[in-house]
Structure 1
């Protein structure tokens, strides 16, 4: 290759390098602008998502159209219920609040008249002025058969000819119903299976009314596919056990079973145990939900640490360290055409993706003074500036594709004639082939 061809080649290489740099800067600017636009789009999207989520969370008008069957109240009617106070007041009302009539209680024939007291009745019974004696009856019967017949008929009359009432005989509060025998009443009174004690009543009155599981002890809430765990937790307004499917919304990425601890509508804690042995936690604080956090077990940490330690993509090997720490194997440059060793033997080495030349050589310019293996030479060769020894100055070291080495353009030109030589301490990158 002539000097003019070589210079032309260098200029062409410089033009190509400058073009590549220009393309690189324009591409970098384009990527930066694209990244900024993408970041703005992502920020807008996240802001809208956060707003929509907040509006949905604040919606207390049953946005999911939850039915009474879904919350376990299918048998409850949508009608006003009496308060405990109103019910107790009604229960204690002794003034016939339902307007019960005597016909309804089987006493339609009873008159509402005052009854005689027992003392009055006894006094009346002993009043001989109003009652007849046996002798008087015999006398009257013997004297008047018609009177006798009438009196006999009246005496035998069992249809209450005087219209005696229950109130008149002191039984105004007695209902016209069949009465239980005293033995049956006593047996019923002593039956502790149908009656509760004072301690039973106090225990049941103080019992927890909100269930955290089903009656059989199983999970209360099933957060299945497409169901939002956060909405369920807020909607329950209590502590409860749950199951989550991995296809649920705002659920762990694995099927879990756990418990939500309710504090208020804006605070709570959820703990879930995954089918794969994982442990998860999610918090509601001041109305803001955290993400599910996976608390790793000791066994999981050991496995992850082992996997991390074995990852050679992010860790260096001893071979890497030896190569990077200077464990480079040098070989002597094969000298040619009368070139001789100067103060240091000319050597070369492959160091990663670099070609390293070191040493001091004495040679005439414009001749091939030595060579190295062609597979170590960068594609298209290379040109490096090297210092002259003795008088000072520089020259160009030409490294050809085939591995040949030559000194060109020494300045001053008579350096080698003065016995100086050239220092070959250079590093060349972008090596072709396998440079590892």
Structure 2
């Protein structure tokens, strides 16, 4: 993509925050002193106000022929007073060009949008009215002073500090006397303190109680049955430590993890017990359908092997979907002719097998690639040798008309690696204008210029040598006086 910046321009015009719905930006776009067509353009306007928060908006293409676009600031943007940095970006639909235009403008804050809080509001018609207003304010102040005096008089009736202290001391003395009264002045009963079931009897002495509780000779003759041990025999038991030692013995006891591992282990052998592949000699490959790894001796195509060579067979089976891979064995490391790999599978629910498919080796792939490259180069060299290096006029068809000054023509370039097409013509769109040009390996699309109107067209150079005028975007197809071509097409 080619990006063109037209420079930065700070405009002198200003908007006001009161220009709601009327703050409009109008762009008259020109190129080389002529209107810039906008028929294949998408316009974006980038606004960065004083607060730095970028906004991207679509512009309206008012007149695509004369290159006129406009944008009206929305209600939120017109309130963002201060300087705006802006850029108008035009992106063409062919994705090959973009134009950027930077500019700036200012939005001033209207007095109507400023909040000014008044201290007071007075409307005076004459001096006598002003005098009366001042007297009124004085009387109001005097009245306020009188009210304050009355409030201070009320304060004189408040208790003094000394009087309040005497009263507090008297209350404290009464409280102390009450606290020192131990004769149950409130007549509290034992029920009120939660001891209604306690009798007024003599209790056992603490020393006698302590002697009874320390007696370990079973003074109450408690039996084993009374404590729930009637079935326990009077024999020595293993200690708790001995029980833990026995319980943690990993040799005598297996864990649940080990049991789960044994229960989930493979129950079908895919190799011999020592890990070697299973051995088969002279076996019919069609009968080897059990999953496993095998070494096959005396393998032959008569027994449905892919080649007459011993090797390794891998079998994967899921029900009736048997799959085989066979790798022939070779003791030579200098040649891979003996080491070949094949695959096939059995048709589901059938005794039919697909044919063996060989899996290509690196050496085989390279040999085929080298062969294809050699043949392609020979083909290209043959075609290039037939191409002239001088200009050859192209015969036009399907109503296409050549330019009288520079007719459409072609020649080879860069030693025959490219075809150059040059000249002019006029034709209807969507038409094959010529055929029989040199064939190329890949089709090529390219743009051509129009004379007489603004726009562009696309042409296709096809692999069979046809030139096709596809069409494009122009202001007026009827105004095209000539289509100018200057393109280079790779042959391969």
TM beyond 0.5 = no
Which protein shows a greater Rg?
A: 1
TM bucket (normalised to shorter chain) is under 0.3
The structure carrying a bigger strand percent of its residues is 2
TM-score, with structure 1 as normaliser:
0.25
